[in-house]
């Protein structure tokens, strides 16, 4: 038996809870931005995050409502996606608190920053990866805004690289699940895509 859920017959929050419980796990982009006057360095987690395009390299995140991150992105055209490793879970969550407008989460949460190479927003010094982005475009959808950012520079800590490639066991990514759940990566398996020339029938029959 399957249970049906009709978004039109449910409240916004009820369906939001269902959606965020079933679109899992979601990577967490720890997004740093800067106010237009460069007075306030902002930092906030966003789990509505993915790759949007390969060439050009574009990532996307969604702001639900209008927050400082979105305002800064619209005003400056820049942001940085800092990678969210398991060891920084409490710090990442601290930066999701609803601090008053203009208060720097770097300062409030005691997060060490470092300058970016190609954009003005600061990077999180302890994060193993930073993707420096220039805004490509934004799309408003209802109460949310999807921000597409062209990655103009990437930096990766040497200690998460194996043969020059980022290694998941060293990155230790965090992800967002439903409710207030967070997750770390469990079993990692290797399975190559099958060229049709090598097709040997459905997996269940082999
Ligand atoms: C793990 C986690 C993931 C989140 N993901 C999102 C998201 O995808 N979009 C969003 O608008 N807010 C998200 N939030 C909430 C924002 O981080 C929060 O509203 C924050 O205060 C926004 O800060 P700002 O006003 O400085 O931009 C998330 C919070 C947490 C803890």
d(CA 12, CA 28): 22
Hey, where are the domains in the chain? 26-178
Q: Is 93 in the pocket of ligand 1 (CB under 6 A)?
A: yes
Looking at the DSSP assignment, which residues form a beta bridge with residue 130? Answer: 82, 155
Q: Is 158 exposed, middle or buried (0-12, 13-18, 19+ CB in 10 A)?
A: exposed
- Residue 206's pLDDT is 84
- Residue 70's pLDDT is 98
- CATH number for the region 26-178 comes to 2.30.110.10
d(CA 179, CA 161): 33
The low-confidence residues of the chain, meaning pLDDT below 70, are none
Q: Is 37 in the pocket of ligand 1 (CB under 6 A)?
A: no
Q: Is 176 in the pocket of ligand 1 (CB under 6 A)?
A: yes
């Amino acid at each position: 038996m399957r249970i049906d859920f009709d978004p039109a017959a449910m409240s916004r929050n009820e369906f939001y809870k269902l959606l965020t419980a079933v679109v899992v796990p979601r990577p967490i982009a720890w997004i740093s931005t800067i106010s237009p006057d460069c007075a306030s360095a902002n930092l906030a987690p966003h789990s509505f995050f993915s790759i949007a395009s390969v060439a050009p390299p574009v990532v996307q995140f969604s702001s639900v409502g209008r927050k400082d991150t979105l305002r800064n992105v619209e005003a400056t055209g820049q942001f940085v996606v800092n990678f969210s490793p398991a060891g920084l879970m409490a710090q990442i969550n601290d930066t999701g608190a609803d601090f008053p407008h203009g208060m720097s989460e770097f300062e409030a949460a005691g997060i060490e920053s470092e300058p970016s190479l190609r954009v003005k927003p600061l990077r999180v010094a302890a994060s193993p990866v930073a993707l420096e982005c220039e805004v490509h475009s934004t799309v408003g959808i209802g109460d949310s805004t999807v921000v597409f950012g062209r990655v103009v520079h990437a930096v990766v800590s040497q200690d998460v690289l194996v043969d020059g490639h980022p290694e998941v066991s060293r990155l230790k990514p965090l992800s967002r699940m439903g409710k207030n759940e967070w997750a770390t990566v469990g079993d990692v398996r290797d399975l190559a895509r099958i060229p049709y020339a090598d097709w040997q029938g459905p997996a269940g029959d082999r």
